[in-house]
Chain A
Amino acid sequence: MGSATSELPSLRLPLTDRAETGLKIVVVGGFGVGKTTLVRSVSEIRPLNTEEVMTRAGVGIDEPDPASRKSTTTVAFDFGRISLNDRMVLYLFGAPGQERFWFLWDRLFAGTLGAVVLVDTRRVDDCWYAIDRLEHHRTPFVVAVNRFEQDGVRYSLGEIRQALALPAHVPMVECDARDRQSAKDVLITLVDHLYDMAMAQEATP
């Protein structure tokens, strides 16, 4: 994660002055599943890293290191950017699926278009929690299975769907997070899904 060299320009590649609408899509998944790689594959800038702090009081049931006297804890995340046209710009966030992150969901990702749950078939368990939290926040999502070359056993999407107890209406897609077209297809799968949902909703009086 975050280790591949990149030819992408830095943030200093400015947006057009007509840019007016920022949009968000969040990629969640366990450590090392390829979130940053996927973001990098489609981003027009080199992914940047930023963070949010929260006070212990805001953490609720989080368990800070008892040896530490720190009154704050930090959640770091990466993001990249895609200019969709001269007015609309999509920010793509790679976010850790760990428990404390979800306390910040509303503060950081309210109004997000939708989410991609990135799955490593060697560690399917990692994404149960993410799926549970997205459902809780009523955030539409798709599941993308990042195929690693060294996969010993190749589970089919059907087997993974079953393992995740994923409802039939949630789209699943295979991908190679390193490949630009493949990463793009993941995003298109998500937005297609959102579009279908929006059309169905608008058709209902």
Chain B
Amino acid sequence: MRRRPVDTGDPDRLYTVTGGRHRAGESLDLVTLLVSECEPTAGMQSEHARILELCRHPTAVVEVAAELRLPITVVRILLADLLDAGRVTARHPRAAPSLAGLPDSQLLKEVLHGLRNI
């Protein structure tokens, strides 16, 4: 499962994939689930088309990155494009945890139940 690292030594490649953009709103969580709202179309940027294929079923940001073999940062930018265009929708993780950083006990109970049943 070791794979060739992406060409981080060649920032030009990353620049090309993202069109050189760098903007806010790319703070998608690693485990935000994405769902395609349309099929890829002819002439679409290949990375966008690939994402739309992958996300026919809910797929996390980190899974998209692994499949596309691109760094998380780059994938967040690609996904922001598709979100802006309404081509994918995002199912965000539940609201930020409480002050002490803990999720509520009900959610944890469900996690425990799930883990015991796997």
Chain A positions 184 through 201: 1 when the CB is less than 8 Å from some CB of chain B, otherwise 0: 100110011011011101
Nearest chain-B residue to A137 (Cβ)?
B101
Chain A positions 53 through 96: 1 when the CB is less than 8 Å from some CB of chain B, otherwise 0: 10000000000000000111110100101111100111101000
Residues on the A chain within 8 Å of B60, using CB = 22, 81, 89, 91
A11 within 8 A of B: yes
Cβ-defined contact, B115 with A85, below 8 A: no
Cβ-defined contact, A82 with B33, below 8 A: no
A138 within 8 A of B: yes
Nearest chain-A residue to B69 (Cβ)?
A50
Contact residue range for chain A? 35 or more
Highest count of chain A CB atoms <10 Å: which of B6, B11, B58: B58
CB-CB contacts below 8 Å: B52-74 with A: 56-60, 62-63, 65-67, 71-73
Residues on the A chain within 8 Å of B94, using CB = 21
Cβ-defined contact, A111 with B97, below 8 A: yes
Contacts known (A48-B1, A52-B71, A88-B114); A11 close to B63, Cβ less than 8 A: yes
Residues on the B chain within 8 Å of A184, using CB = 115, 118
CB-CB contacts below 8 Å: A142-170 with B: none
Cβ-defined contact, B102 with A194, below 8 A: yes
Complex: A74 Cα to B6 Cα, angstroms: 9
B84 within 8 A of A: no
Q: Is the interface of A mostly helix, strand, loop or mixed?
A: mixed
Chain B positions 105 through 118: 1 when the CB is less than 8 Å from some CB of chain A, otherwise 0: 10011111111101
Q: Choose from A81, A187, A201 the contact partner of B102 (Cβ within 8 Å).
A: A201
A47 within 8 A of B: yes
Cβ-defined contact, B1 with A198, below 8 A: no
Residues on the A chain within 8 Å of B25, using CB = none
B23 within 8 A of A: no
Cβ-defined contact, B33 with A113, below 8 A: no
Complex: A198 Cα to B101 Cα, angstroms: 9
Q: Would you list the 10 A-B pairs with minimal beta carbon distance, nearest first? A: A84-B114, A22-B31, A14-B57, A48-B66, A198-B105, A50-B66, A19-B58, A195-B108, A53-B71, A52-B72
B residues touching A (Cβ–Cβ < 8 Å)? 1-3, 5-6, 8-9, 11, 14, 29-33, 35, 56-60, 62-63, 65-67, 71-73, 91, 93-94, 96-98, 100-105, 108-116, 118
22 examples of A-B residue contacts, CB within 8 angstroms: A15-B33, A16-B58, A17-B35, A21-B94, A22-B91, A23-B93, A48-B66, A51-B5, A70-B9, A74-B8, A79-B62, A82-B114, A88-B110, A89-B60, A91-B30, A91-B31, A91-B62, A107-B72, A109-B30, A188-B116, A195-B112, A198-B103
